[in-house]
Chain A
């Protein structure tokens, strides 16, 4: 069983739509991360959160620690939002907190 599960795996939306990507995890975590990966492969950190909600521009991330669940929302989606969105959890291990990644959600926003 995967320690980090994301849904959906693929998502196609029309420009302007409200988008939600879900993430569930089964391990104890230090924090949950939402990352963005573009076709070239580079990974960019969007959010790191351990409780509540964070907002950055049109992106909103929430986490429910008791339910081990997080959501990433994109409001007023735009074609430039098209990318793979990855949920990853930080887990304790020695002095460092490695990340365990989900499989990602491929988002395509059509104009």
Chain B
């Protein structure tokens, strides 16, 4: 069964460094999402992407964050200058079409900023 994959599974970085989190959505899916979950807290929406552009972004998704779909398969989240508070689990999700379809989640990337 097709699944969303994410790499790396864990990443440790120093404050101020740039990180790129990678996701490979399910082939033929059209809608893509990034969410994050700070340890012990609920999952929060970051950004959605459709038709090669950002569709919606949250207040968390400031100028330090960016997303790209550089080719037909990858979907990346870049954090330009990481802060301690960026430490979280980051989930990528995709869905095939608009309304009436569930989102399929990747296993997550656990990011630790020191």
Contacts and interface: CB of A to CB of B under 8 A. Distances in A.
A97 B33 CA distance: 10
Greatest chain B CB density within 10 A among A31, A42, A93, A96 is at A96
B3 to A, nearest CB: 10
Interface of B: 31, 33, 35, 37, 41-45, 48-51, 55-56, 58, 89, 91, 98-105, 107-108, 110
A93 B55 contact: yes
Please report whether the interface of chain A is mostly helix, strand, loop or mixed according to DSSP: strand
Interface string A11-49: 000000000000000000011010100001111110010
Interface of A: 30-31, 33, 35, 40-45, 48, 86, 88, 93-104
B48 A94 contact: yes
A41 B89 contact: yes
Contact of A101 (B42, B56, B102, B110): B42
Contacts of A100: 45
B53 to A, nearest CB: 9
Main secondary structure, interface of B, reads: strand
A103 B42 contact: yes
B31 A41 contact: no
A102 B45 CA distance: 12
Given A94-B50, A96-B98, 18 more contacts: A30-B99, A41-B37, A41-B107, A42-B105, A43-B43, A43-B105, A43-B108, A45-B103, A86-B42, A94-B48, A95-B55, A96-B33, A96-B55, A98-B56, A99-B35, A100-B45, A102-B42, A104-B42
Contacts of B45: 98-100
A45 B104 CA distance: 7
A93 B48 contact: yes
Nearest to A94: B55
Contacts of A94: 48, 50, 55-56
A45 B99 contact: no
A101 B41 CA distance: 10
Nearest to A97: B99
Nearest to A35: B105
